Amino acid sequence: MVVECRGKKEDAELELEFRRICDGENQGNRQLPFNIVFADKKTNLTGLQLADLVARPVGLNYIRPKQANQAFELLKKKFFCDGGRKGVGSGYENVGLKIYPAQKAKSPDEPTEAVAPTGNPQST
C-alpha cells in the first residue's frame, strides 16, 4: 500500500497501526500480506491523485451525510455492493466502502470521536 508522507510523527503512527492490523489485530484475527510504502508529496503518482479525488467526497458524505454532495452521488455507483450490479448505488456500506476507524460527529460544531469499527476489514 502506497501512502503519502505527512510528517515523521504521523508517518510513524500510521505505520504502527498498519503493522498492528496486518499482524492480526483485525476483525478476522488473521495476518494480512500487505506492506506499507511512504511516497513523498512531490511524487506525482496517479493512484495517489485518484485517492485524493475520491477521499474528499467520501469524507464529506461521512461527516455531513445530509449535505448535498454531487461527487459522492457519482462515486457511490462505483462501489462494490451487496446485491452486485443489481444493487448499484446501495448496499455499499461496509462492503465496497469501509470507513476505518469508524468515527461519528457529536454535532456539526464538534469534532469527531472514534468508535469501534464493525464489518469486514477487507473493503476497498
Q: What is the pLDDT of residue 104?
A: 57
Q: What is the pLDDT of residue 48?
A: 84
**Where do the domains of the chain lie?**
1-43, 46-124
**Nearest residue to 96 (alpha-carbon basis) of 113, 110, 83:** 83
Name 57's bridge partners. Answer: none
User: How far is residue 97's CA from residue 2's CA, in Å, rounded to a whole number?
Assistant: 18
Q: What is the pLDDT of residue 109?
A: 55
Q: What is the pLDDT of residue 122?
A: 43
Average pLDDT, the chain: 81
Q: What average pLDDT does range 71-92 have in this prediction?
A: 86
Number of Cα atoms under 13 Å in the Cβ half of residue 119: 18
Q: What is the pLDDT of residue 30?
A: 93
Q: What is the pLDDT of residue 44?
A: 77
**101: cis peptide before it, omega within 30°?**
yes
Q: pTM of the entire structure?
A: 0.56
